[in-house]
Amino acid sequence: MNAKQIREMTAEELTRAVNENRRELFNLRLQQQTGQLESTARIRQVRRDVARLLSESTARHNRATA
């Protein structure tokens, strides 16, 4: 997921995407602990996606209240 795609999302889509990515991150961590994880790089990618989504959400909130 890149920044352009994130900027084009609505507020509801942002919230849904954050929740989905957090759920995926939880599942990836469980897989890692049980030794079932195929790609450890996916954890890093999902973590960064969550950060990008939250950054955009915060920026929108700050623009709306300014």
CA angle 9, 55, 44 (to 5 degrees): 95
Q: Which CATH number goes with the domain that contains 30? A: 1.10.287.310
Domain total for the chain? 1
Which pLDDT belongs to residue 5? 95
* pLDDT tens-digit map of 14-49: 999 999 999 999 999 999 999 999 999 999 999 999
- DSSP state, residue 8: T
Which pLDDT belongs to residue 1? 85
Task: Using DSSP, state whether 60 is helix, strand or coil.
Answer: helix
**Structural domain of residue 31, as residue ranges?**
3-65
Rounded to two decimals, what is the model's pTM? 0.91
Q: Phi-psi category of 41—alpha, beta or left, where left has phi over 0 and alpha has psi -120 to 50?
A: alpha
Could you tell me which residues come within 8 angstroms of residue 17 by beta carbon, excluding any fewer than 6 positions away? Answer: 1, 6, 9, 49, 53
